């Protein structure tokens, strides 16, 4: 046995275990290319109307990313992410009006404050399992929505709430000086979104990601393996809240004016719907979800078709995903959209396959 | 303080609502590999759940290697050295073989420097027969069970709890598993408690065996004697063969 | 601090509202116990039923037919959903089943917004003949509609409790709640019992929709999300006890309306069901030790 052990040891040095496969490198290249295209070329190709829509896509892709981590990676369903986004937007707006801090700092602060709030709320909630956790997030989100309706979003007023109910001329929420125009702000949003995606990717590839995978598989097995499940679940909540808070900050600058009716309770439900449809597990799914949520309505509106059809579509989508997914909400098996993507990739790769990594 | 390799259970009682799953269980496990058998519902998994920290007993103590096990928070017990497999195997699909085992090592707070070596050692020890970067969904059922065992023996385990590790495996794979289990105490210094219904596996691996029936301990001692005990046979009447 | 006289009218409206929440909550609990589904689309079916009734009444269809259609619509849609999506999801986690009903909610929501666009100015209303007749208790005016609201809650609670305990169908539902598989092996017609539960819950949804449309507002969003108040009551009862659901629902309705005259809190009174439910959920979870794996869910 000693002989076999040392043979294995020699056969698998650290470098061999950690080497990124060829497939990973190709994928990274494709992603980089797409990112550059979205950043540089896209705003030139689209009308201002669609640039605006794509800015919203960038913002919401971060929100769906956060929800995707919770649902797809850890197996926690939150029905309150729209409220978290509202909090992030609120904090950012307040800071932007009250201070002259540079934009990146404001975004960071919005993210951190939202993260702290999200974690505080998550702390007691995490004792609950599955259904009850989802319901309590719904309840908390509802409560926050009510508060927001009453306190309103900051609009340049004074006091803690920064809301002046009687001003006639409401100042616009400012944008960073380098990104004042819509196309420029779109690029800003894309860069911020990319950074958030990188942050999440970093988590997934390292210890928290592995712990989440274990927790999703079976919480008792994870505990038995020594994983502090409460800590890692909180970490997921904190991460999701942070990125969503930052997204809220970007949203504030994008729309210039925030109103509580822009954050209805139903948004949290449609958020979950598109995340499920896009595929909760993969990071691509987050982008697809954001496209469904923000680009499609813009397209439909342009064609004079009511966005209500999308609401109906999302409802059907939820039912379809849940009835066909064999292993529950946090399922790895790709849904129709990403299944299509895989099929295409396989087709494209077949001529190039020459004894490379197993598909 | 010398660590005496033993698990001393005293007067352990667990109640769920109106049901008493464990009733004043008192036994000492001090052989290298100990068996724990009993008909379905006898309380074996409940006992493991107490050891894992998922269930709080109504009364009783458990001392393992001289330490009060019940005083530790559940996820810290792995750090102390408790390892466990479950009736339904829990290999993490999305991670490769290496990471599945490395995770246990990582969360047991063992040194990162020795991690690669310890993980490879565990994989070789169980005779997994798959490459470390292999994906779990490429493994056979038998290999997945062995992966579970690898996760249970990596690093420096003190107490290895195996809950029906051979369930659903064909005879030759069960035999191989039996050899691995028998070698665990020698290789790692740990104490193994094996729960299984396969009596040939239990008699092949375990020096001593305890028997539970309706939460009560009805026999304990050298495996061969226990399996011949009348009370044990009676408890098992109506279930699968007692070889 | 407002005076006793200020509170009085809100006690009445609170009781009426609580009564409707109670009958909704009971419907939710019974369905959950029979099928494991938290029917989050409960409010949406009631809302759409009420809108349909409104349209019919506006088109000069006799009022009572409109109301009947509303109730039957609730029953029909719910039954259809239960029969189509119940079986494929039957073995799944309650979370999955609940999220699926959110899918139905979205579909209904979209349809409602499509067919009955939120017309900026003119608001719709449902009026029942009992709105204008009533009586007075001391200083307080009480309409018959409010009495119906409260009475419906009480009656449904009592009837359902009795039904579950004393009838064959009710006992079968309780057995289902315990274990679907074993119940099936005992020869209980599981599908039929479940269908009865879905239908009953749906009918209650229609009734609740109608009453809430009258007592609160005929607005898709408002009515759809009023389910949360009833859900809160059901959660306080841990989705088990009909009686606790009733008490909790009455409490929610009362507290909500009683906050109206209190200046400092009035704007936040809509938080009542959310806060109470959150507190209830947290209180329930205090004793958990076993994390449980997915199989044990």
Q: How far is CA C223 from CA A157, B199, C10, C213, in A?
A: 34, 62, 20, 7
The nearest alpha carbon in chain B to C292 belongs to B54
The pLDDT-based confidence of B113 (bands split at 50, 70, 90) is confident
Quick: pLDDT tens for A214-237: 988 888 889 999 999 989 999 999
Q: Are A133 and A76 in contact (CB under 8 A)?
A: yes
- State pLDDT tens for residues B51-98: 999 888 989 999 998 899 999 988 899 889 999 998 887 788 888 899
Kindly indicate the confidence band of residue C291, based on its pLDDT and cuts at 50, 70 and 90: very low
Task: For residue range C29-64, list pLDDT tens digits in order.
Answer: 999 988 999 999 999 999 999 999 999 998 998 989
- Of all residues in chain C, the percent with pLDDT exceeding 90 is 46
Residue C292 pLDDT greater than 50, yes or no: no
Query: pLDDT: is B216 or B3 the higher one?
Result: B216
pLDDT exceeds cutoff 60 at A351: no
pLDDT computed for residue B83 by the predictor? 93
Cβ-contact A71, A275 below 8 angstroms? yes
Can you tell me the mean pLDDT for A7-35? 79
pLDDT at A123 exceeding the cut of 90: no
Q: What is the pLDDT of residue A111?
A: 97
Q: Is the pLDDT of residue C154 over 90?
A: yes
For chains A and C, count residue pairs whose Cβ atoms are closer than 8 Å. Answer: 164
Q: Which of residues A162 and C120 earns the better pLDDT score? A: A162
- State the pairing for strand pair B208-213/B33-37: parallel
- Give the model confidence (pLDDT) of A29-43 as tens digits: 888 888 988 888 888
pLDDT over 50 at B25, yes or no: yes
B2: in domain: no
- Residue A12 falls inside a structural domain: no
B89: tokens are 């195997």
Alpha carbon separation from C120 to A308, B50, C226 (Å, rounded): 17, 62, 22
pLDDT digits 0-9 by tens, C65-83: 999 999 999 999 999 999 9
Angle A81-98/A103-125 helices, nearest 10 degrees?
140
- Going A137 to A138 to A139 to A140, the CA torsion angle's sign is positive
Assigned domain for B243 exists: no
Give the per-residue pLDDT at B39. Answer: 86
CA C246-C250-C255 angle, to 5 degrees, is: 150
Work out the pLDDT band at C22, boundaries 50, 70, 90. Answer: very high
Is C263 near chain B, with CB under 8 Å?
Answer: no
Band (pLDDT 50/70/90 cuts) for residue C135 is confident
d(CA B85, CA C293): 13
Dihedral class, residue B155 (left if φ above 0, else alpha if ψ from -120 to 50, else beta): left
Is the pLDDT reported for residue C8 higher than 60?
yes
**Test mutation, B51, B54, B90, B148, chain C, max C CBs within 10 A:** B54
Is residue B117, in this structure, part of any structural domain at all? yes
Q: Residue A184 sits in a domain of what CATH number?
A: 1.10.3470
Q: Is residue A348 part of a domain?
A: no
| Structural domain boundaries enclosing B148 | 7-236
pLDDT for res A344 = 64
Q: How confident is the model at residue A204 (pLDDT cuts 50, 70, 90)?
A: very high
Nearest CA in chain C to A129: C291
Q: Are A236 and A126 in contact (CB under 8 A)?
A: no
Q: Count the Cβ atoms, other than its own, within 10 Å of residue C1.
A: 7
Sequence-separated (6 or more) residues with CB below 8 Å from residue B27? B9, B210, B217, B220
Position C139 scores a pLDDT of 78
User: Is the pLDDT assigned to residue C289 strictly greater than 70?
Assistant: no
E strands of chain B, at which residues? 7-16, 19-29, 33-37, 59-64, 67-68, 82-84, 159-163, 191-195, 208-213, 216-222
Residue among C235, C268, C294 minimizing CB distance to A150: C268
Rounded to the nearest integer, the mean pLDDT of chain A is 85
> Does A289 score more than 50 pLDDT?
yes
Please report whether residue B1 resides in a domain.
no
Q: CA-CA distance, C70 to C50, in Å (whole number)? A: 6
List, for residues A309-320, the tens digit of each pLDDT value: 999 999 999 999
Give the model's pLDDT for residue A327. Answer: 52
**How much is the pLDDT for A334?**
40
- The residues that bridge with B84 in the sheet, in sequence order, are B161
Checking if the pLDDT of C221 tops 90, the result is no
Q: Residues C136, C142, C147, C149: what is their CA dihedral angle, to the nearest 10 degrees?
A: -170
CB A268 within 8 A of CB A70: no
Share of chain B above pLDDT 70, in %: 95
Q: Measured between CB atoms, which of A9, A207, A221 is closest to B90?
A: A221
pLDDT > 60? residue C287: no
Cβ <8 Å between A323 and C113:
no
Residue B123 contacts by C-beta under 8 Å, 6 or more apart in sequence? A8, B97, B98, B101, B130, B132, B150
What 8-state DSSP symbol labels residue B165?
A: T
Q: How many CB atoms lie within 10 A of CB A339?
A: 12
Residues C52, C57: Cα–Cα separation, whole Å: 9
Structure confidence at residue C120 as a pLDDT band (50, 70, 90): low
C290 CB neighbours in chain B (<8 A) are 49, 54-55
The predicted model gives A175-181 an average pLDDT of: 87
Stated as kind and residue range, the H or E segment containing C95 is: helix C94-115
Select from B56, B86, B88 the Cβ nearest to the Cβ of C289. B56
Asked if the model's pLDDT at residue C98 lies above 50, the reply is: yes
Is the distance from CB of C74 to CB of C203 less than 8 angstroms? yes
Q: Between C82 and C219, name the one with better pLDDT.
A: C82
Size of interface B-C (CB pairs under 8 A): 12
pLDDT in the model for residue A4: 63
Domains of chain C, each with CATH number or no CATH: 4-116+145-283 (1.10.3470)
Q: Which tens digits make up the pLDDT trace of A293-348?
A: 999 999 999 999 888 999 999 999 999 999 987 554 544 434 444 555 566 666 66
- What average pLDDT does range A169-182 have in this prediction? 85
Residue found under tokens 């479950």: B86
Q: What is the pLDDT of residue C121?
A: 46
Domain count, chain B: 1
Tell me whether residue B135 is in a domain: yes
Element (H, E) at C190: helix C190-215
Here the CATH number for the domain that contains residue B61 is: 3.40.50.300
CA distance A321 to A329: 9
Number of continuous H segments (helices) and E segments (strands) in chain A: 17, 0
Residue A31 exposure: Cα atoms within 13 Å on the Cβ side = 13
Cβ separation B133–A17 shorter than 8 A = yes
List the structure tokens of B223: 């495996």
Packing angle of the helix pair C168-178, C144-166 (nearest 10 deg): 80
User: Is it the case that residue C252 has pLDDT exceeding 90?
Assistant: yes
Distance in Å, alpha carbon of A322 to nearest chain C alpha carbon: 7
Return the sign of the alpha-carbon dihedral for residues A252, A255, A257, A261: negative
Q: Which of residues 84-103 of C touch A (CB under 8 A)?
A: 85, 88-89, 92-96, 98-100, 102-103
Is residue A23 in a domain? no
A215 shares contact with chain B (CB less than 8 Å): no
d(CA C45, CA C41): 6
Closest Cα of chain B to A221: distance in Å?
7
* pLDDT tens for each residue of A55-89: 999 999 999 999 999 999 998 899 999 999 999 99
Angstrom distance (rounded) from CA C249 to CA B152: 50
Q: How many domains does chain A have?
A: 1
Contacts of C292 in chain B (CB under 8 A): 54
Q: Give the domain range for residue A224.
A: 57-331
In the three-class reduction of DSSP (H, G, I as helix; E, B as strand; rest coil), residue B82 is classed as strand
Q: What are B58's two structure tokens?
A: 């109504």
- A3 Cβ under 8 Å from any chain B Cβ: no
The per-residue pLDDT for A343 is 63
Mean pLDDT of C172-192: 77
Task: Report the distance separating Cα B34 and Cα A160, nearest Å.
Answer: 66
Assign C293 a pLDDT band (cuts: 50, 70, 90). Answer: very low
Q: Give tens-digit pLDDT for B177-235.
A: 999 999 999 999 999 999 988 888 898 889 999 998 888 888 888 988 888 887 788 87
Residue for token digits 């009475």? Answer: C151
Which pLDDT score is estimated for B133?
84
The verdict on a CB contact (< 8 Å) between A318 and C102 is yes
Nearest-Cα residue of chain A relative to residue B105: A225
Task: Give CA separation, A187 vs A32, A44, A152, C119, in Å.
Answer: 15, 11, 29, 37
Mean predicted lDDT score pLDDT of chain C: 87
Q: In angstroms, what CA-CA distances link C221 with B87, C106, C108, C267?
A: 47, 11, 11, 18
């Amino acid at each position: 046995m000693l002989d076999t052990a040392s043979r294995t040891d020699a056969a698998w040095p650290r470098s061999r275990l950690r080497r990124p496969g060829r497939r990973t490198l190709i994928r990274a290249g494709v992603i980089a290319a797409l990112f550059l295209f979205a950043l540089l070329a896209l705003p030139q190709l689209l009308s201002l109307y669609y640039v605006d829509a794509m800015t919203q896509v960038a913002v919401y892709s971060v929100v769906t990313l956060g929800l995707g981590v919770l649902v797809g990676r850890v197996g926690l369903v939150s029905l309150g992410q729209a409220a978290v986004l509202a909090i992030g937007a609120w904090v950012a707006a307040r800071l932007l009006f009250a201070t002259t801090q540079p934009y990146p700092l404001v975004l960071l602060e919005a993210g951190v404050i939202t993260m702290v709030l999200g974690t505080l709320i998550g702390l007691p909630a995490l004792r609950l399992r599955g259904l009850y956790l989802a319901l309590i997030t719904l309840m908390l989100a509802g409560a926050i929505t009510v508060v927001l309706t009453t306190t309103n979003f900051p609009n340049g007023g004074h006091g803690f709430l920064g809301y002046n109910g009687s001003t006639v001329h409401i100042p616009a929420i400012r944008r960073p000086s380098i990104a004042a125009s819509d196309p420029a702000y779109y690029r800003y949003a894309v860069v911020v979104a990319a950074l958030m995606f990188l942050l999440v990717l970093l988590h997934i590839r390292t210890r928290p990601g592995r712990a989440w995978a274990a927790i999703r598989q079976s919480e008792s097995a994870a505990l038995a393996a020594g994983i502090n499940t409460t800590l890692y679940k909180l970490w997921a909540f904190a991460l999701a809240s942070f990125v969503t808070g930052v997204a809220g900050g970007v949203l504030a600058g994008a729309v210039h004016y925030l109103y509580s009716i822009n954050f209805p309770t139903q948004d949290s439900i449609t958020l979950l719907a598109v995340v499920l449809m896009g595929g909760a597990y993969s990071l691509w799914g987050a982008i697809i979800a954001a496209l469904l949520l923000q680009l499609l309505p813009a397209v439909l509106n342009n064609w004079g078709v009511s966005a209500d059809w999308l609401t109906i579509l999302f409802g059907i989508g939820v039912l379809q995903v849940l009835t066909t997914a064999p292993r529950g909400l946090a399922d790895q098996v790709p849904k129709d959209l990403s299944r299509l993507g895989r099929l295409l990739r396989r087709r494209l790769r077949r001529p190039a396959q020459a004894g490379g990594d197993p598909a | 303080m010398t660590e005496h390799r033993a698990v001393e259970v005293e007067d352990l009682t667990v109640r769920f609502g109106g049901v008493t799953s464990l009733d004043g269980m008192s036994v000492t496990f001090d052989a290298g590999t100990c068996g724990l058998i009993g008909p379905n519902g006898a309380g074996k998994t409940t006992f493991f759940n107490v050891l894992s920290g998922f269930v709080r007993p109504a009364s009783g103590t458990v001392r393992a290697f001289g330490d009060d096990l019940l005083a530790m928070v559940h996820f810290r017990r792995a750090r102390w050295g408790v390892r466990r497999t479950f009736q339904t195997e829990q290999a993490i699909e999305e991670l490769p073989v290496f990471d599945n085992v490395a995770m246990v090592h990582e969360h047991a707070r063992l040194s990162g420097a020795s991690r690669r070596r310890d993980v490879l050692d565990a994989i070789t020890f169980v005779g997994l027969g798959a490459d470390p970067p292999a994906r779990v969904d490429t493994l056979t059922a038998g290999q997945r069970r062995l992966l579970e065992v690898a996760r249970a023996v990596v690093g420096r385990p003190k107490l290895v709890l195996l809950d029906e590790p051979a369930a659903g495996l064909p005879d030759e794979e069960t035999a191989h598993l039996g050899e691995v289990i028998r070698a665990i105490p020698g290789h790692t210094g740990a104490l193994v408690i094996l729960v299984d219904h396969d009596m040939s596996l239990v008699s092949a691996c375990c020096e001593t065996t305890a028997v539970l029936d309706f939460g009560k301990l009805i026999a304990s001692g050298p495996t061969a004697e226990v399996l011949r005990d009348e009370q044990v046979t009676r408890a098992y009447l109506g279930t699968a063969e007692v070889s | 601090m407002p005076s006793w006289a200020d509170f009085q009218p809100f006690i009445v409206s609170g009781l009426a509202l609580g009564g409707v929440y109670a009958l909704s909550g009971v419907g939710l609990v019974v369905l959950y116990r029979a099928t494991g589904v938290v029917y989050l689309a409960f409010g949406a079916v009631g809302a759409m039923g009420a809108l349909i009734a409104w349209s019919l009444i506006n088109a000069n269809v006799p009022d009572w037919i409109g109301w009947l259609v509303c109730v039957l619509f609730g029953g029909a849609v719910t039954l259809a959903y239960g029969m189509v999506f119940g079986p494929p999801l039957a073995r799944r986690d309650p979370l999955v089943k609940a999220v699926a009903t959110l899918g139905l909610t979205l579909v209904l929501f979209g349809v409602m917004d499509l067919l009955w666009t939120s017309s900026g100015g003119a608001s719709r209303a449902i009026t029942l003949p009992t709105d204008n007749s009533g009586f007075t208790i001391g200083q307080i005016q009480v309409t018959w509609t409010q009495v119906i609201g409260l009475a419906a809650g009480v009656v449904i609670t009592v009837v359902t409790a009795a039904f579950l305990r004393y009838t064959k169908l009710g006992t079968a539902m309780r057995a289902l709640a315990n274990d679907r598989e074993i119940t099936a092996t005992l020869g209980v017609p599981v599908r039929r019992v479940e269908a009865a539960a879905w239908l009953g819950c749906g009918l209650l949804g229609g009734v609740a929709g109608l009453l809430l449309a009258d007592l609160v507002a005929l607005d898709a969003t408002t009515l759809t999300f009023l389910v949360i108040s009833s859900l809160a009551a059901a959660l306080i009862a841990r989705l088990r006890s009909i009686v606790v659901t009733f008490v909790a629902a009455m409490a929610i309705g009362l507290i909500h309306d009683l906050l109206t005259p209190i200046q400092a809190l009035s704007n936040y009174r809509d938080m009542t069901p959310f806060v109470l439910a959150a507190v209830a959920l947290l209180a329930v979870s205090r004793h958990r030790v076993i994390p449980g794996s997915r199989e044990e869910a």
